[in-house]
Amino acid sequence: MSEINLMAAFAGLGMFLFGMMQLESGIKTAAGARFKTLLRKTTDTIGKSVITGAIATATLQSSSLVSLMVLAFVGAGIMALSSGIGVMFGANIGSTGVSWIVALVGFQFDVNAFATPLIGIGALGLMLMSGSRKAQATFQLMFGFGLLFFGLDMMKDSMESVADHVDMAAFGGYGFLAYLAIGALLTAAIQSSAGSIAIFLSALAAGVITFDTAAVLVIGANVGTTITIMMGSIGGSADKKRVALAHLIFNIATGIVALILLKPMTWVVLDLLKMQDNLVLGLAIFHTLFNVMGVLIFSGFIMGLSAWLMRRFTREERRVTKYLHAVKPQMAEASVEALKNETRHLIREVMRFTLVLLNVPPKDLFGLKRKTTAIVYSNPGVLDINVQEAYERIKRLESSILAYATEIGERSPEDEAQLNNALAATREATYTAKVIKDIKHNLDEFALSEDDYMLDHYNQARLRICDLYRNLLKAMEPDGDPKKRLERVDEILSTLKDEDKNALRTIYRAIKSGDIVQNSAPAFISTNRAVVSASESMIAAAELLFLQPDPHGQMRETQA
């Protein structure tokens, strides 16, 4: 080959990365919910966390995916910081699985002999079996594997021409730091350590680089994987920043130790394990060796690192009020209006809070542009939120409103009635937040379930609250006839009660028919009851604040 075939190299890399994406997507479809449940339930000790991180990453073939899951779970308060760090450490070991697959299969067999049939069968299966979720996942796995190895073969062939035209030794004048930077920057650029390591393995197999150089490039790739996680933590909670920084510290520290011990580790791989004749497999061994070494060295420091990170990133107590801080309570007329506006703000914040707990992005509903069903069914996953922090923010806002009300000076009977309505609305809205918070674990279990009945029940609960909020937002618009708005809210409440009765009948029939196992029944019933109770409280809050100038009768007692 007289010229370097760069296009073939880029095409091979593109197919390899796309194959990895298809492989990851297929595994997520087949077992994504199980892995999320696994991550949450098997990380109660540091040892378990490391093992879980390694197994999950080796199976999903994506350390970035596992790490981003960890960011979400730690940020949501579902997983302890120390457990999250342990999973990240284990993910580094699991990420070496790609090196082993590529080394053992991609360079030992005729790739085209099995890659081409896999691509063909996988592509045809994806087209013909669109109705079956499991079949789709299986064919996507086949297609991903085939494309991954086909791309690897193209990169391997293109690298043979590089050996004749590019002298990688020219970078040697800059020392190992140059190769370290190349490995890190390439991995950061293509957002895949698997892709960059496949390139290094291909270059090593073609004789473009030496084993020492390839080892340093792999160390650099390990550092480059931190970029995705650091980007995922930008603008996130303090916990997310802590996890991302722990990942960065661990990978850099492990890389430094690996560079210091490069010669002894190279000797172990090439001489002690006799890998001189199989450098590609030797590089896979080296990749695993230094990651395992890093975990063994730094696992004992996880608790200390967690404590340091807790001090390094503290949760900022931001102002929660939007109107009260701008008006002194002694200004009677203005202060009552400010308190009413703050209560409106609280109601909208509670709506946002409950929507996120229901895994619906608030902007989708508050925009009022998309259909409610489209919003619900296009957002089936679990959104990232620290539930306790968000709820405490609502409680602080409620406390600010109550404290401000006690400081308001002399007021007219009309102002007194409006003030009482606003305070009652505040209690009702906060109660809504508490009710949905208390069933968050049920909602997430339904969201991650592979049981169609549970998923349907989950989506119906979300749909009912989204419909309620959409109609309340319309009913609370400033213009229009107050009487008609009140009638509309009464219609919503009547519909809600009818839906509650129908839902309970459906649940009881499902229990009787066996569609719901007996020990799952309480979760279904309590979730349904909570959704109705929360909805009634939100309607009461809206009626008190927006639709009734004077309170009539006693409000039912609520507690938050």
Domain that holds residue 282: 6-312
In a domain, 494, yes or no: yes
- Structure tokens belonging to residue 364: 């989708």
In a domain, 404, yes or no: yes
In a domain, 34, yes or no: yes
Tell me how far apart the alpha carbons of residues 21 and 314 are, in angstroms, rounded to a whole number. 36
The pLDDT score that the predictor gives to residue 359 is 79
Last residue of some domain: 282, 312, 342?
A: 312
Whether residue 30 is predicted with pLDDT greater than 80 in this model: the reply is no
Whether residue 339 is predicted with pLDDT greater than 90 in this model: the reply is no
How many domains are there within the chain? 2
Whether residue 343 is predicted with pLDDT greater than 80 in this model: the reply is yes
Q: Kindly report the average pLDDT of the chain as a whole number.
A: 75
In a domain, 452, yes or no: yes
The pLDDT score that the predictor gives to residue 112 is 63
Matching residue, tokens 């306790």 = 388
Choose the weakest-confidence range: 267-276, 353-362, 389-398. 353-362
Task: For residues 361 and 298, state if they share a domain.
Answer: no
The pLDDT score that the predictor gives to residue 545 is 77
Last residue of some domain: 312, 332, 362?
A: 312
Tell me how far apart the alpha carbons of residues 438 and 87 are, in angstroms, rounded to a whole number. 27
Quick check: 96 and 284 in contact, CB under 8 A?
Answer: yes
Whether residue 426 is predicted with pLDDT greater than 90 in this model: the reply is yes
Task: For residues 294 and 331, state if they share a domain.
Answer: no
Better-scored residue on pLDDT, 75 or 129: 129
Residue 119's alpha-carbon distances to 22, 26, 174, 313, in angstroms, are: 11, 14, 42, 47
Task: For residues 307 and 357, state if they share a domain.
Answer: no
Q: What angle do CA 18, 375, 517 make, to 5 degrees?
A: 90
SS3 401: helix
Long-range contacts: 284-288, Cβ < 8 Å, 24+? 284/96, 284/99, 284/100, 284/102, 284/103, 284/104, 284/201, 286/215, 286/218, 287/96, 287/99, 287/197, 287/218, 288/93, 288/96, 288/99, 288/100
In a domain, 67, yes or no: yes
Better-scored residue on pLDDT, 112 or 469: 469
Quick check: 81 and 238 in contact, CB under 8 A?
Answer: no
Tell me how far apart the alpha carbons of residues 318 and 190 are, in angstroms, rounded to a whole number. 37
The pLDDT score that the predictor gives to residue 228 is 64
**Residue 558 confidence class, pLDDT cut points 50, 70, 90:** very low
Task: For residues 259 and 337, state if they share a domain.
Answer: no
SS (H, E, C) 178-196: HHHHHHHHHHHHHCCHHHH
In a domain, 555, yes or no: no
Residue type, 511: I
Tell me how far apart the alpha carbons of residues 304 and 289 are, in angstroms, rounded to a whole number. 24
Task: For residues 108 and 228, state if they share a domain.
Answer: yes
Task: For residues 66 and 102, state if they share a domain.
Answer: yes
Task: For residues 418 and 275, state if they share a domain.
Answer: no
The CATH number for 450's domain is 1.20.58
Better-scored residue on pLDDT, 430 or 482: 430
Matching residue, tokens 């009461």 = 540
381-396 burial code (b ≥16 CB/10 A, e <16): ebbbbbbeebbebbee
Q: What is the pTM for the complete model shown?
A: 0.52
Task: For residues 306 and 381, state if they share a domain.
Answer: no
Q: Give whichever of 135-144, 170-179, 278-287 has the largest mean pLDDT.
A: 278-287
